[in-house]
Amino acid sequence: MRMSYPPWPKGKKLVHLDLKGAPPRVEYLHRLIELFSELGVDGLLVEYEDVFPYDGELKLLQATAQPAYSRDEVLSMQEFARSKGMEVIPLVQTFGHMEFVLKHRSMWHLREVAHCVGTLNPHREEGVKVVMEMLRQVVELHPGLSTLHIGADEVYMLGEGEESKLWLASPGRTVEQLFLSHVTKVARAVKEAWPHMTIIMWDDMMRGMSLDTLKASGLVGLVQPMLWDYTPNLDASKTVSLLEKYCSAGMADLWAASSFKGSTSVYTCVTSTQRHLDNHLQWLKVAASLSPAVNMKGIAITGWQRYDHLSVLCELIPVAIPSLAVCLQTLLHGQFSAEAQSKVTGKLGISSVEVETMEMTCVADTVFPGRRLAELIVELNALLNSEDIRFFENSMFVRGWFSPYQRQRKTVTPLITMQIHNQASLYLATLQQKVEAVREEMAKLYPDSTVQEWIEEHVSPVTAPLQRITEDVAACLKEMVPKNHFSSFDIAD
């Protein structure tokens, strides 16, 4: 039985572009924006991190692995989005998740604790100045900007720094107050610089705060909390209670944040549409249960590319486009009905909304941008995860006739060892063929650094053991088989 709720209430539907990993080439970014518009998206929540063209003293924040977007490219992205009826809202982290700033040696002294790269020390005025300069440069490069997201989620280790411990030693002071004092300082500085700016922030650091603490926080009337939950089993009643608490504290303008990718696991390669559909059905249940006093400003459908700046890549956008389309249609219809499914499959030209089983049903001009890469990734991922390949080292023949003990002493059975070599070589050749196809297609949409990282993260851990086995076989056989026999078994001399 399909769950059914009222469609998502009036408010904006934003798609989150997380550019701190795998930033799309500009041409592909424009194609994605066009598709988002056709799918009913109202705006983009853009998290640039190190691909923003910071300059002056902040130029060191620019990525070195791949080039940052140029100023003209950032402006053209906004102009193209506006031409499609979409607003662009930048997200700039100002407290937690500042790894891309605090990883630089010249910024180390601004960390809350030395071993936590993400959290800013809230006691250093220099830290606030860095944050405000980041915001100034971003706002300046977004002409006419009316809404800004200042992050402030997952501020790990707050209160653990020496200056924080001294501050907290005074009677009545709490870590909650420490968090609120910094966020309030930043938000007030934003309002002073840009009086008409609407400020959004993540809500998670405020979830455990009492109603009285929230009322006295200084944030009422200053920020709009965005409550995020990306799980398929989101607790609707608990989430409703939390939103009602924020509203009772005076923060009635609220946002939701769901997910269409990048929240299953830190290293997921292929998106599960069902997981993200379930997340959106739960959010519809939340929206249907809220009191009229809660003013839902919209929902940001997040698409995380990394869990944080220093973690590995999550799924690339192409394999998640069916999931995004399903999530949007579910919000529009209040359920994933037969009509919603028909609209997704028809629009994207696919037979299934699960990327692992989709087949093309339409001509080339109706397929979604990045479709070919999505297909190739699914095919390669299936190979990489096949038991025969991934667990080749644990096969009976390798464990029985080519164990580490046998390799070290070069006491092997040539006949079986040659069979092992030939099978490993066959797997390597099959993988290499698929990898080259993925490499070629991915390079059309992403910078070379992304291609290299993706292959090293997903492919190398599987191919390296196979390669090692072929090399070890050759070394062993040189000790046990005459040279003139090598060529007949494709073993290099």
Q: Convert the pLDDT of each residue in 408-450 to its tens digit.
A: 888 889 899 999 999 999 999 999 999 999 999 999 999 999 9
What φ, ψ does residue 194 adopt, rounded to 5°? -135, 85
Fill in the DSSP letter of residue 293: T
User: Taking 90 as the threshold, does the pLDDT of residue 493 lie above it?
Assistant: no
* Residue bearing tokens 């090399």: 471
Just list the catalytic residues: 154
Give the burial string for 215-253 (b: 16+ CB within 10 Å, else e).
eebebeebbbbbbbbbebebebeebbebbbbbbebebbb
Share of residues in the chain with pLDDT > 90 (%): 86
* Cα–Cα dist 200/183, whole Å: 11
Q: What does the pLDDT read at residue 366?
A: 56
Average pLDDT over residues 235-249: 98
> Of 145-159, 170-184, 266-280, 358-372, where does mean pLDDT reach its minimum?
358-372
Residue length of the chain: 493
Pairing of strands 12-18, 295-303: parallel
Rounded-to-integer distance, Cα 230 and Cα 268, Å: 15
Are 15 and 95 in contact by the 8 Å Cβ rule? The answer is no
**Would the pLDDT of 360 be above 70?**
no
Cβ burial, residue 166 (10 Å; 0-12/13-18/19+): exposed
pLDDT number for residue 357: 83
- % pLDDT > 70, the chain: 96
Q: What is the pLDDT of residue 481?
A: 77
E strand intervals along 110-173? 147-149
101 vs 107: CA distance, rounded Å: 7
Structure tokens at 230: 């990306």
Q: What is the pLDDT of residues 166-199, one digit of tens each?
A: 999 999 999 999 999 999 999 999 999 999 999 9
**How far is it, in rounded angstroms, from Cα 171 to Cα 178?**
13
Q: Which of 20, 180, 185, 179 is closest to 90 using CA atoms?
A: 20
Cα-trace Rg, the chain: 26
pLDDT digits (tens, 9 = 90+) for 211-233: 999 999 999 999 999 999 999 99
Could you tell me which residues come within 8 angstroms of residue 36 by beta carbon, excluding any fewer than 6 positions away? 15, 44, 84, 86, 324
- Residues 487, 481: Cα–Cα separation, whole Å: 11
Mean predicted lDDT score pLDDT of the chain: 94
Instruction: Give the model's pLDDT for residue 362.
Output: 52
What is the distance of C-alpha 398 from the center of its chain? 38
pLDDT, tens only, 119-130? 999 999 999 999
**CA 196/CA 211 separation, integer angstroms:** 27
485 vs 114, higher pLDDT: 114
Query: Residue 91's beta-bridge partner residues?
Result: 149
pLDDT for 67 equals: 83
Where is 73: in which H helix or E strand?
helix 71-83
